[in-house]
Amino acid sequence: MLLYYAVVALHVIVCVILVLVVLLQSGKGADLAGAFGGGATQTAFGSRGPASFLSKMTTIAAVVFMLTSIGLSLMSTQKSAARSVLETTKQETTQPAKKAPAPAGAPAATPTPEQIRQRVEELQRSNQQAPAPQQDSGSKPAETAQPGQ
């Protein structure tokens, strides 16, 4: 695992170096090389010196970049061999849960329309037999307004 991270770090460093070396090379119009001072270096190295040095650095950086790319792709394919998702999951046989008995207070099933009708009739009979609640003696019944008064 440490080797993988070392190759990744080298790959990133080589990428940055490759970008900088390519940008420092003077093109036909000295595009970015002039902006970074590339035109002044030609006088120090001579007219031929920096071009060959930068082209050699570009070649070396490109070769190292290709090698680290191939190495990283090989390392990543070794980690994950072609396997199915079902092969990677843990194979366990599961059994369905056992049904627990219903609590004593819970209804056993949904009532039928006939059972509902019988229960409503029982409640109506019990309401008719129960005495109506009495009003307090201190409270007056609400008077209704009659039209025309």
pLDDT per residue as tens digits for the range 22-64: 898 876 655 455 556 555 554 545 555 556 788 899 999 999 9
Number of domains in the chain: 1
Q: Say if 113 falls within a structural domain.
A: no
DSSP the chain: -HHHHHHHHHHHHHHHHHHHHHHHS--SS-HHHHHTTHHHHHHHHTTTHHHHHHHHHHHHHHHHHHHHHHHHHHHHHHHS-S--HHHHS------PPPPPPPPTTS-SSPPPHHHHHHHHHHHHHHHHHSPPPPPPTTSPPPPPPPTT-
Q: Say if 117 falls within a structural domain.
A: no
pLDDT for the residue 102: 65
pLDDT for the residue 128: 86
Q: Say if 84 falls within a structural domain.
A: no
Residue range of the domain that includes 75:
2-25+41-79
Question: What predicted TM-score, i.e. pTM, was given to this entire model?
Answer: 0.42
Q: Say if 46 falls within a structural domain.
A: yes
pLDDT for the residue 77: 78
pLDDT for the residue 9: 96
Q: Say if 35 falls within a structural domain.
A: no
Q: Say if 6 falls within a structural domain.
A: yes
Q: Say if 56 falls within a structural domain.
A: yes
Residues in the chain where the model's pLDDT stays below 50? 31, 42, 44
pLDDT for the residue 135: 62
pLDDT for the residue 68: 96
